[in-house]
Amino acid sequence: MRRLHPGLEEIGKPPDPRFSFANERTFLAWTRTGLALIGGGLAAAQVLHFRLGGARLLVAIPAIVLGGLIVIASYWRWEANERMMRLGKPLRYSSLTRILAAGVTVLAVISAILVVIEALVR
């Protein structure tokens, strides 16, 4: 049975293995970052106890969602980079770092606001 899209091994010529391994290491680093966000979100859901009902979900859910998005985007980036290397084309710009920085900044701001509100409520 023929696939709709050719697999990466069927496109272009194999790149230097060092570049493929570097691309894979980058993918794995992004995956670890995503898993850390997911784990941090799960920990926040279990450990944080604000007097405001459900406030811990304001930290937990965005962290878990951001972690999942980072993992998915890192796979897409890995695949796109591998494809470009096999075709001998320049690698494309990735906004993954900008998304991560913005997401973590938003999480930090939300966390800081909740800590200040909790301190004022006491």
Distances in whole angstroms, Cα of residue 64 to Cα of each of 20, 47, 117: 29, 15, 23
The predicted pLDDT at position 82 comes to 95
Alpha helix (H) ranges present in 16-95? 17-47, 55-87
Which letter, b or e, does each residue of 88-120 get, where b requires 16 or more Cβ atoms within 10 Å of its Cβ? eeeeeebebeeebeebeeebeeeeeebeeeeee
Question: pLDDT value at position 16?
Answer: 92
**Residue 105: what pLDDT?**
96
Mean pLDDT value of segment 81-96: 93
Measured distance CA(94)–CA(76) in Å, rounded: 10
Whole-prediction pTM value?
0.84
pLDDT higher than 90, residue 64: yes
88: DSSP letter: T
Confidence category of residue 79, pLDDT binned at 50, 70, 90: very high
